[in-house]
Amino acid sequence: MKHLLISRIESLYHTMLRIRRVEEAIAGHYPMQEMRCPVHLSIGQEAVAAGVCAALRQQDGVFSNHRAHAHYLAKGGSLTAMLAEIYGKAEGCCKGIGGSMHMIDLAAGFLGAVPIVGATVPLAVGAAWAAKLRGEDKVITVFFGDGTFEEGAVYESINFAVLHRLPVLFVCENNLYACYTRLSTRQPDRPIHTVATACGCKAVTADGNDALAVFDAASSAVADLRAGGYPVFLECSTYRWREHCGPNMDDDLDYRPKTEVAAWKAACPVSRLAKILGTLDEGQNFMAHAEREISAEINTAFAGALAGGIPQQTDLPGYLYA
Amino acid sequence: MPETIRKITQAEAIREALEQAMTEDERVILIGEGVPDPKGVFGTTSGLQERFGMARVFDMPLAENGMTGICIGAAISGMRPVMVHQRIDFALLCMDQLVNNAAKWHYMFAGQASVPLVVRVIVGRGWGQGPQHAQSLQAMFAHVPGLKVVMPSSGYDAKGMLLAAIRDDNPVIFIEHRWLHGIIDEVPTMPYTVQLDKAAIRRHGKDATIAAFSFMVVEALLAAKALADLGIDLEVIDARAVRPLDMTTIIESVTRTGTLIVADTSWKTGGIAGEVVAGVTETAFNSLRRPPLRVALPDIPAPTSPHLTKDYYPDALHLARAIVNHLGATIPDAELVSRLSRSTPHDIPQREFCGPF
Ligand SMILES: Cc1ncc(C[n+]2csc(CCOP(=O)(O)OP(=O)(O)O)c2C)c(N)n1
Ligand SMILES: [Mg+2]
């Protein structure tokens, strides 16, 4: 039992550290002006992606939004294809058509991420509906932010999912802000998940900076869904460390209280598990090894992405229609 | 206060129009995602909440369709809302309210109520904005009777047309272009208006008429200047209005030049350029010395990679080549290239720009 828990912690830690180091590397390379597209980094929010995706199987589907890197990587999306896409290369996951805001890796069950806020929530319900109609053993998850919860299509989607008892997990990453606007400027003072409850959806919460807590909540939700239960809404509280869009810190803009930023950084999801692993010899070895292995993987992936080919404009019309 | 004219960016001109509209009419309210935030919608709304207070300048939930309806409801009830979307693509979520309600309220209730609403929408381009953040949807709006649609290109017009739009009793879709925001123009300090239905001749010429929309006016003027050195004298018209289109000015020009070229910021098929061509051929067919020409985007959504956008947006060089070819002029391509090659990367508006938008 104890061993199982440790290997779970190790695996969640590895997923989060990998996301963290990839995002840091993107931020590091961005000023060279070769990644010529918007990037929305997930640094600080790794536990939600890691915890939820650890509860899923490869054939389960995931949809995401503008801030998709963590979800894509946690679901098993190809790192090289993601970086190549951000570099606008032919080997990118959308062959350069999409950039950072348009991730897809169908082999990994990552069904698509696009930047129109709320756009993928109904798609997830539709995918879950299809799975049910086709009798497939599949759960569909959609990640979206607190701001996205304001879009009408989200309520319409929850309503239909509950009505038809569809195997869909709604994961709301509540990082308290939509761009520079605080939640309290956009929504009344009540927890987001209670609105899902009022729609007849089962709703649960988890500390979004605690990957184990997210994993536990997601696992029991997914077990319910596989058993034919009602859709589940999982609200995870977390925090974005860097600017809404771009590689930098933006604390100079003063839109978030300094004490708030400091408190969330102190609750770093990666350090949280590192602390547990650090008390064990085995854990220390694991972390040192993970750091080396991930660093090597990232170097190789960046080199691979940068060496990628130039996509051809003449290929574009061919993608317009099936 | 004596009238002074000074040079400011188009973003500043828009901000000034909003400030003056709110000063002159307390019914004017301003709402949009990020309006009071530190970036102030590319600087166009900066400081306005500080100046006019929380009861007139609002941030809003990410609820474009519902909020549009809420603004329409306020507009038919004595307010004059100005709504802003950082990308025109987000206004697609508002289409039901704009098309079914705003455009028709005055008409379907036989003039008993009107919708004094301005919806500012910004066309994105460059630095990998991609398929969902770089559309130029003027033709979709312009298709709808009951909406007014404008696309100013100069800072002077942006201020004057925004003030006119806010004073207008009808819903006006006010389309800005992200690459125009940074361009400096001479703008008077005092409030003034510019008509919402009138094109402007930016350059007089005799060999061909170029009717251009929004940012394409900038490219058309560059092309015209270079071609003037090479013996082609172009007339450049800034269409300014998309609905209603000022066909009178364009037709009058074509009757003098005998040639029509339309330069649009959007896709060719079903676009506003085709509408201009149709209007000219219907009424001034006999003035045309050669077929009209549309210079527009290829019929594919904007890709993201800079390798793929290189020739996606027609710039002054593309335009000049198309014109030379269309007129059958014998000008070596090298002459055009030496005059019109961009010195900045093709996917950024100014050299200083280092992403992301
Ligand atoms: C329909 C639509 N409206 C507005 C935007 C601009 N936009 C991009 S991300 C974003 C904020 C999203 O906030 P949230 O859902 O909380 O996600 P977070 O960025 O915090 O991860 C906004 C308003 C958009 N992309 N689409
Ligand atoms: Mg958020």
Task: List pLDDT tens digits, range A12-26.
Answer: 999 999 999 999 999
* Pocket lining: A242 vs ligand 1, CB cutoff 6 Å: no
Q: Are B152 and B240 in contact (CB under 8 A)?
A: yes
Please tell me the distance in Å from B356's CA to the nearest CA on chain A. Answer: 5
Options B64, B176, B219, B235, the catalytic residue? B64
Reported confidence tier of residue B355, pLDDT bands at 50, 70, 90: confident
Domains in chain B with CATH codes: 5-188 (3.40.50.970), 200-340 (3.40.50.920)
B114 inside 8 A of chain A by CB: no
CATH number for the domain that contains residue A10? 3.40.50.970
Catalytic residue list contains B282? no
Nearest CA to ligand 1 atom 21: A145
- At residue B350 the predicted structure's pLDDT band, cuts being 50, 70 and 90, is confident
The four Cα atoms B193, B199, B205, B207 give a dihedral, to 10 degrees, of 170
Categorize the per-residue pLDDT at B266 as very low, low, confident or very high, splitting at 50, 70 and 90.
Answer: very high
Question: Is this complex scored with an ipTM above 0.90?
Answer: yes
Q: What is the pLDDT of residue A261?
A: 98
> Which tokens in the block code for residue B231?
């013996």
Per-residue confidence at B353, pLDDT binned at 50, 70, 90? confident
Q: Which range (A187-191, A255-259, B46-50, B349-353) has the least confidence?
A: B349-353
Mean pLDDT of the A56-81 span: 98
**For range B129-150, the mean pLDDT:** 98
Beta bridge partners of B261: B210, B293
pLDDT band with cut points at 50, 70 and 90 for residue A4: confident
Task: Judge whether A237 lies within some domain.
Answer: yes
Q: What percent of chain B has pLDDT over 70?
A: 99
Say yes or no for a CB contact (<8 Å) between B308 and A97: yes
Cα–ligand 1 centroid distance for A177 (angstroms): 9
Q: What is the rounded distance in angstroms from the CA atom of residue A91 to the CA atom of residue A304?
A: 9
Of A26, A40, A27, A43, the C-alpha closest to A84 is A26
Q: What is the pLDDT of residue A157?
A: 98
The average pLDDT across B205-234 equals 98
Q: What pLDDT does residue A226 have? A: 96
Residue B172: is its pLDDT beyond 90? yes
Asked if A102 contacts A114 with a C-beta cutoff of 8 angstroms, the reply is: yes
Q: How many CB pairs under 8 A join A and B?
A: 132
Per the domain annotation, does A317 fall within a domain?
A: no
Q: Is residue A13 part of a domain?
A: yes
Q: Is any ligand 1 atom within 6 A of the Cβ of residue A52?
A: no
CA distance B283 to A135: 61
Chain B residue numbers with beta carbons less than 8 Å from the beta carbon of A316 are 298, 300, 303, 308
3-state DSSP of A37-92: CCCCCCCCCHHHHHHHHHCCCCCCEEEECCCCHHHHHHCCCCHHHHHHHHCCCCCC
Which ligand is nearest to the Cα of residue A143, counting in written order?
A: 1
Does A312 reside within a domain? no
Q: What is the mean pLDDT of chain B?
A: 97
The DSSP result for A131-192, as a single string, is: HHHTT----EEEEEETTGGGSHHHHHHHHHHHHTT--EEEEEEE-SEETTEEHHHHS-SS-H
Separation CA A100–CA B334 (nearest Å): 37
CB A203 within 8 A of CB A140: no
pLDDT of residue A82: 98
Task: List % helix, strand, coil for chain B (3-state, nearest 5).
Answer: 40, 20, 40
pLDDT digit string (tens) for A104-151? 999 999 999 999 999 999 999 999 999 999 999 999 999 999 999 999
| B residues 134-193 closer than 8 Å to A (CB) | none
pLDDT at B1 exceeding the cut of 60: no
Q: Do the Cβ atoms of B114 and B104 come closer than 8 Å?
A: no
Q: What percent of chain A clears pLDDT 70, i.e. is strictly above it?
A: 100
Would the CB atoms of B308 and A313 count as touching at under 8 Å?
Answer: yes
Number of domains in chain A: 1
CB of A148 closer than 6 A to ligand 1?
yes
Q: Which residues of A touch B34 (CB under 8 A)?
A: 179-181
Smallest CA–CA distance from A187 into chain B, residue: B61
Task: Answer yes or no: do A186 and B356 touch at CB < 8 A.
Answer: no
pLDDT digits (tens, 9 = 90+) for A288-318: 999 999 999 999 999 999 999 999 999 999 9
A147 touches ligand 1 (CB under 6 Å):
yes
Q: Which pLDDT value is given to residue B137?
A: 98
Looking at beta carbons, which residues of chain A come within 8 Å of B63? 150-152
Residue whose Cα lies nearest atom 20 of ligand 1: it is A178
How many Å lie between the alpha carbon of B186 and the closest alpha carbon of chain A?
31
Rounded mean pLDDT, A184-208: 98
What percentage of chain A has pLDDT greater than the value 90? 98
Is residue B234 within a helix (H) or strand (E), and if so which, with residue range? strand B234-238
β-pair type (B172-177, B118-123): parallel
**Domain-located, residue A319:** no
pLDDT of residue A1: 61
Pairwise CB contact (< 8 Å): B62 & A100: no
Q: Give residue B2's pLDDT band: very low, low, confident or very high (50, 70, 90).
A: low
Per-residue pLDDT at B351 exceeds 80: no
Residue partners of B293: CB distance under 8 A and separation at least 6 = B260, B261, B262, B322, B323, B326
Is the pLDDT at B300 greater than 70? The verdict is yes
Any domain includes A321: no
Domain that holds residue A49: 2-307
pLDDT recorded at residue B352 = 78
Please state, in angstroms and rounded to a whole number, the distance separating the CA atoms of residues A127 and A122. 9
On the 0-12 / 13-18 / 19+ scale of CB atoms within 10 A, B100 is middle
**B60 to A186: CB separation less than 8 angstroms, yes or no:** yes
Place of tokens 């929850």: A158
Interface check for B333 against chain A (CB to CB < 8 A): the answer is no
Contact B194, B161 (CB under 8 A): yes
Ligand 1 close to Cβ of residue B93 (< 6 A)? yes
- Kindly identify the ligand whose nearest atom is closest to the C-alpha of B66: 1
Using the mean position of ligand 1's atoms as its centre, give its distance from the Cα of residue A151 in Å. Answer: 10
Q: Does residue B90's CB lie within 6 angstroms of at least one atom of ligand 1?
A: yes
Whether residue A316 is contained in a domain is answered as: no
CB atoms B304 and A97 under 8 Å: yes
* Chain A residues lying within 8 Å of B304, measured CB to CB: 37, 88, 94, 96-99, 101-102
Distance A179 CA to ligand 1 centre (A): 7
Ligand 1 atom nearest the C-alpha of A149 is: 15
Search chain A and give the residue with CA nearest B128: A37
**Ligand 2 center from residue A187 Cα (angstroms):** 12
Task: Give tens-digit pLDDT for B3-39.
Answer: 799 999 999 999 999 999 999 999 999 999 999 999 9
B318 is catalytic: no
One-letter amino acid at A287 equals M
Whole-angstrom Cα distance, residue A285 to residue A289?
Answer: 6
The whole-angstrom separation of Cα B230 and Cα A43 is 55
Give yes or no for residue A243 CB within 6 A of ligand 1: no
